[in-house]
């Protein structure tokens, strides 16, 4: 539902403990959460009570296949809602329609529903299905702006933001932001592997997979999903779990936000909150190829307790830094870092190592909540690539960053078809991120596309759906590989009329 995500959601990270802007934290960290449904920011606080109006999930049956084509009755829908409905031209609409990225401010949905509960989501889907496109928005971080459809309905889930810890499990509303999820979990001494950007919605992040700084130790966010409550195309509410709607449950774990239905609530299995040692290494100019080459061999050999990225900042010369965290103490981490610097043959110009509690570490990797204008895409490294070729792609591209996030460890344990997330055998993901304005967007997008093509030529193919890119060649295969066929089967079963459709949706 970055994330996309994000439809979509995404995210990133920093080399110092103070807050930085999104571009900086993305450059230094580069984790994300994006995909296909997104969310808005909200203050952290006590968990909201479970709405008494939440309908009980039903069992599956054949969804309706006859859809109306007449215009929605907006006044009738407004009367059914506990939340609000805004149409173009009314006060608050221009703010309510906004996504995280200002490049999508020109998009004009036909209406924005601020859902107060699951019943509001049901009513919205039943009123609009077949008459206009429908996009859920959890955090609003969709890299492609899919959560703000032109002439479509935005179902804003920001009000469904409860975070409740129940023993070893956490029940989280689809509109909850990562900053609030982390704060509430930490208060209860629990942890969930997730992304970095504080305003990414839990929904888009989870539905696209959920890469984060603790992924190598604890797995993807979607791997911790126990069940999900989903509003389907015909307005029914289903519970998706291993023993209830297993096909839908499979598709929700990495199939991308915005597909199949609108998730309104997640239940996750959590772990005891660990203490974490964070680190940042800045290397001298001219060492980027040597560092990246050594990093690829090093991260593959590291224990799962260590997560690290390698960030290439475009320019002349290309700058390089390595950052990350270690579930353990500084002494053990320093030994591992020394191994990297020795193999890279480059002495860091700056080295920072700091021990923090779980919440402190999540805040360290967090960034500002300010909106950011950017163009981005992704590739996946499965086997080590030619570092010199990758660095050459960043040469002269000032402002463009390649954020190479280590995978492996717990991420690689499930079979590639165990969930919809295909890239279980990946060594790393690569996010290509470049700031842009409305005037420079086309030029920047062309530059990003050149880097994407160059990475593929260097051996980094595929793509991560939470860094969703409308221009990515062969996107279905890039995101889903051989899982694409089963995802289409899931769509055919649960959304045969493609009610939840967008530019890169999984269609029946």
How far apart, in whole angstroms, are the C-alpha atoms of residue 328 and residue 416?
29
In this prediction, residue 239 carries a pLDDT of 98
The CATH number of whichever domain residue 388 belongs to comes to 3.40.462.20
Compute the average pLDDT of residues 416-427.
98
* Token pair in block for residue 189: 């001494």
How far apart, in whole angstroms, are the C-alpha atoms of residue 499 and residue 42?
29
pLDDT digit string, tens, across residues 429-439: 999 999 999 99
9, 206 in Cβ contact below 8 A? no
* pLDDT at position 19 over 60: no
- Exposed e or buried b per residue across 353-379, where buried means at least 16 C-beta atoms within 10 angstroms of its C-beta: ebebebbebbbbbbbbbebbbbbbbbb
Q: Is residue 169 in some structural domain?
A: no
* Token pair in block for residue 56: 């009980």
How far apart, in whole angstroms, are the C-alpha atoms of residue 155 and residue 201?
14
In this prediction, residue 67 carries a pLDDT of 79
Q: Is residue 337 in some structural domain?
A: yes
* pLDDT at position 396 over 60: yes
Q: Is residue 419 in some structural domain?
A: yes
* pLDDT at position 31 over 60: no
Q: Which residues pair with 173 in a beta bridge?
A: 265
In this prediction, residue 199 carries a pLDDT of 96
Torsion of CA 334, 335, 339, 342, to 10 degrees: 70
* pLDDT at position 24 over 60: no
164, 171 in Cβ contact below 8 A? yes
* pLDDT at position 11 over 90: no
Report residue 131 CA to chain centroid gap.
Answer: 29
In this prediction, residue 12 carries a pLDDT of 34
* pLDDT at position 462 over 90: yes
Q: Is residue 295 in some structural domain?
A: yes
282-to-116, 291, 347 alpha-carbon distances in Å: 46, 10, 9
* pLDDT at position 52 over 60: no
How far apart, in whole angstroms, are the C-alpha atoms of residue 338 and residue 188?
35
pLDDT digit string, tens, across residues 125-143: 999 999 999 999 999 999 9
In this prediction, residue 122 carries a pLDDT of 98
Compute the average pLDDT of residues 84-93.
98
pLDDT digit string, tens, across residues 490-508: 999 999 999 999 999 999 8
* Reported confidence tier of residue 258, pLDDT bands at 50, 70, 90: very high
Mean pLDDT of the chain: 89
In this prediction, residue 66 carries a pLDDT of 67
In this prediction, residue 368 carries a pLDDT of 77
* CA nearest neighbour of 467 among 416, 403, 407, 418: 403
Q: Is residue 324 in some structural domain?
A: yes
101, 108 in Cβ contact below 8 A? no
Among 65-69, 183-187, 432-436, the least confident range: 65-69
* pLDDT at position 192 over 50: yes
How far apart, in whole angstroms, are the C-alpha atoms of residue 208 and residue 215?
14
Among 55-59, 90-94, 227-231, 469-473, the least confident range: 55-59
* pLDDT at position 14 over 50: no
Q: Is residue 98 in some structural domain?
A: no
In this prediction, residue 359 carries a pLDDT of 98
pLDDT digit string, tens, across residues 358-383: 999 999 999 778 999 999 999 999 99
pLDDT digit string, tens, across residues 147-166: 999 999 999 999 999 999 99
pLDDT digit string, tens, across residues 201-214: 999 999 999 999 99
How far apart, in whole angstroms, are the C-alpha atoms of residue 143 and residue 468?
6
**Where do the H-state alpha helices sit in 384-474?**
387-394, 441-457
* Reported confidence tier of residue 387, pLDDT bands at 50, 70, 90: very high
Q: Is residue 286 in some structural domain?
A: yes
Q: Which domain holds residue 419?
A: 276-470
Q: Is residue 65 in some structural domain?
A: no
- DSSP 3-state percent helix, strand, coil across the chain (nearest 5): 30, 20, 50
How far apart, in whole angstroms, are the C-alpha atoms of residue 103 and residue 468?
15
* pLDDT at position 75 over 90: yes
pLDDT digit string, tens, across residues 272-303: 999 999 999 999 999 999 999 999 999 999 99
145, 373 in Cβ contact below 8 A? no
In this prediction, residue 4 carries a pLDDT of 33
* Token pair in block for residue 49: 């009570």
Indicate the pTM of the whole model: 0.88
Torsion sign over Cα 272, 185, 265, 223: negative
In this prediction, residue 57 carries a pLDDT of 67
How far apart, in whole angstroms, are the C-alpha atoms of residue 451 and residue 445?
10
In this prediction, residue 367 carries a pLDDT of 79
Compute the average pLDDT of residues 62-75.
76
Number of domains in the chain: 1
* CA nearest neighbour of 392 among 400, 384, 382: 400
């Amino acid at each position: 539902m970055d994330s996309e995500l994000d439809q979509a959601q995404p995210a990133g990270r920093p080399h110092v403990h103070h807050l930085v802007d999104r571009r900086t934290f993305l450059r230094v960290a580069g984790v994300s959460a994006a995909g296909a449904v997104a969310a808005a920011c909200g203050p952290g606080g006590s968990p909201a009570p479970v709405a008494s109006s939440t309908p009980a999930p039903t069992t599956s049956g054949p969804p309706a296949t006859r859809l109306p084509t007449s215009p929605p009755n907006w006044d009738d829908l407004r009367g059914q809602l506990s939340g609000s409905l805004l149409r173009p031209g009314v006060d608050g609409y221009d703010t309510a329609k906004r996504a995280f990225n200002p490049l999508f401010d020109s998009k004009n949905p036909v209406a924005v529903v601020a859902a107060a509960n699951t019943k509001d989501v049901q009513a919205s889907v039943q009123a609009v299905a077949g008459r206009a496109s429908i996009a859920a928005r959890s955090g609003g971080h969709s890299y492609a702006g899919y959560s703000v459809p032109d002439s479509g309905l935005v179902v804003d889930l920001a009000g469904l933001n409860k975070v409740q810890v129940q023993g070893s499990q956490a029940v989280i509303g689809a509109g909850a932001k990562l900053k609030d999820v982390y704060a509430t979990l930490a208060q209860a001494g629990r942890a969930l592997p997730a992304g970095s950007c504080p305003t990414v919605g839990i929904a888009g992040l989870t539905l696209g997979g959920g890469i984060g700084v603790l992924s190598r130790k604890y797995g993807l966010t979607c791997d911790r999903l126990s069940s999900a409550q989903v509003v389907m195309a015909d307005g029914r509410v289903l519970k998706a779990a291993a023993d209830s709607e297993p096909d839908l449950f499979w598709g929700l774990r990495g199939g991308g936000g915005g597909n199949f239905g609108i998730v309104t609530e997640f239940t996750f299995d959590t772990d005891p909150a660990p203490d974490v040692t964070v680190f940042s290494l800045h290397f001298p100019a001219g060492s980027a190829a040597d560092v990246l080459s050594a990093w690829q061999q090093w991260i593959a050999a590291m224990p799962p307790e260590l997560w690290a990225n390698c960030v290439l900042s475009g320019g002349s010369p290309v700058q390089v830094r390595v950052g990350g965290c270690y579930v353990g103490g500084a002494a053990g981490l320093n030994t591992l870092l020394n191994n990297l610097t020795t193999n890279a043959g480059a002495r860091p110009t700056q080295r920072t190592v700091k021990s923090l509690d779980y919440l402190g570490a999540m805040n360290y990797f967090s960034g500002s909540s300010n909106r950011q204008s950017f163009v981005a895409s992704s590739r996946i490294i499965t086997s080590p690539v030619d570092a010199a070729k990758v660095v050459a792609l960043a040469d002269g591209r000032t402002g463009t960053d390649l954020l190479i996030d280590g995978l492996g460890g717990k991420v690689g344990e499930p079979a590639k078809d165990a969930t919809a997330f295909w890239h279980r055998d990946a060594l790393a993901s690569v996010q290509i991120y470049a700031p842009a304005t409305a005037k420079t967007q086309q030029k920047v997008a062309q530059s990003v596309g050149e880097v994407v093509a160059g990475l593929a030529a260097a051996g980094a193919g595929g793509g991560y759906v939470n860094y969703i890119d409308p221009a990515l060649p062969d996107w279905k295969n890039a995101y889903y590989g051989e899982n694409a066929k089963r995802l289409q089967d899931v769509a055919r079963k649960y959304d045969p009329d493609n009610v939840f459709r967008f530019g890169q949706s999984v269609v029946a």
